[in-house]
Amino acid sequence: MSSGRLDIIGLGPGPERWLTMETPAILALATDVIGYGPYLDRVRARAGQKRHASDNREELARAYNALDLAADGAHVAIVSGGDPGVFAMAAAVFEALETGEEKWREVEIAVHPGVSAMLAAAARLGAPLGHDFCAISLSDNLKPWSVIEQRLRAAAMGDFVMALYNPASKARPDLIHDCFALLRELKAAETIVGFARAVGRPDEKLTLTTLAAADPALADMSTLVLVGSHATRSFEARGRRWIYTPRGSGTR
Ligand SMILES: C[S@@+](CC[C@H](N)C(=O)[O-])C[C@H]1O[C@@H](n2cnc3c(N)ncnc32)[C@H](O)[C@@H]1O
């Protein structure tokens, strides 16, 4: 059978209005849509289209399934929250493609960007990513705490603004507390911290605080944590508190 195609699509952090304009048309052409159940629920059902829901941790199995279907001629869309290349499905597909079956390499593949959670969270809070920043996943599924710790130390030493993804681990609920304990050793007490929960969704909750006062328990699986650099600032205008990192923040 002739090879089909695989579109790897970012659905953004939640609301439909934050989908890119190309996304609905690409989804409409798919014969098969694959994704983690809650992401799949955000895709409008279309007559004749098959939907394949799977569990959160089954990213490689999902990638194999998508490549198999596409290699047999299907037009497959695999969906991710946010951007598909940020702690998400695009990397899993390329891991599978590089090491997997030869026939998978005949599949036409495209990666379609989406609004990543850190960008949506930053926009809600002002412009905290206005100068050098980094993104770190706190998930210890695919890397040990020692690596997370090393990267937090390096980010603090470099005075990067940090966007922390996956702050809540069911398997290790104390991880976010360890993370804050470490940051409190490394960074000033008055460092600005933002918790952006369920950004763009009806249950969105934004909390601005300082590293000294931050309650790590505010960070659940739907939260993006922003930790400022020494230059990140906070002020009020029209009764609303904003944070931003000036474009020219220099050395300490
Ligand atoms: C597996 S990662 C996927 C990231 C996604 N690919 C992206 O670009 O945003 C899931 C993590 O993204 C963050 N996240 C996703 N959607 C979010 C939202 N609407 N509000 C806040 N954080 C969100 C949370 O940290 C969550 O634990």
For the segment 234-245, what is each residue's pLDDT rounded down to a tens digit? 999 999 999 999
* Residue 135 Cβ < 6 Å to ligand 1: no
Atom of ligand 1 nearest to the CA of 198: 20
Closest C-alpha to ligand 1, atom 2: 87
Give 85 Cα–ligand 1 centroid separation in angstroms: 12
Is there an atom of ligand 1 within 6 Å of 139 CB? no
Residue 242 is which amino acid? W
Q: Which residues contact 107 (CB under 8 A, 6 or more apart)?
A: 3, 4, 5, 6, 67, 70, 71
Distance from the alpha carbon of residue 115 to the mean position of ligand 1, in angstroms: 10
Tokens of 59: 């990213």
CA 222 to ligand 1 centroid distance, Å: 6
CA-CA distance, 145 to 139, in Å (whole number)?
9
Ligand 1: does its nearest atom lie under 6 Å from the Cβ of 221? yes
For residue 162, the cross-strand partners are 134, 227
For the beta sheet containing 108-112, the strands, ordered from the edge strand earlier in sequence to the opposite edge, are 50-54, 32-36, 75-80, 5-10, 108-112
Residue 138: CB within 6 Å of ligand 1?
Answer: no
Q: DSSP string spanning the chain?
A: ----EEEEEE-BSS-GGGS-TTHHHHHHH-SEEEEEHHHHTTSPP-TT-EEEEE-TT-HHHHHHHHHHHHHTT-EEEEEESB-TTSSSHHHHHHHHHHHS-GGGGGSEEEEE----HHHHHHHHHEETTSS-EEEEE---SSS-HHHHHHHHHHHHHTT-EEEEE----SS-TTHHHHHHHHHHHHS-TT-EEEEEESTTSTT-EEEEEETTT--GGG--TTEEEEE--TT-EEEEETTEEEEE--TT----
CATH numbers and ranges of domains, the chain: 5-112 (3.40.1010.10), 117-244 (3.30.950.10)
Q: Separation of 152 CA from ligand 1 center, angstroms?
A: 19
What's the confidence (pLDDT) of residue 89? 96
Which of ligand 1's atoms lies nearest the C-alpha of 85?
6
Q: Say what the pTM is.
A: 0.96
Q: Is 224 in the pocket of ligand 1 (CB under 6 A)?
A: yes
At 187 the pLDDT is 98
Q: How far is the CA of 102 from the centre of ligand 1 (A)?
A: 33
Q: Is the CB of 245 under 6 A from ligand 1?
A: no
User: 16 CA distance to ligand 1 centroid (A)?
Assistant: 15
The whole-number mean pLDDT for each consecutive block of 10 residues of the chain, a chain of 252 residues, reads 88 95 96 94 92 86 96 97 97 97 96 98 98 96 94 98 92 90 98 98 97 96 97 97 89 58
The pLDDT assigned to 76 comes to: 98
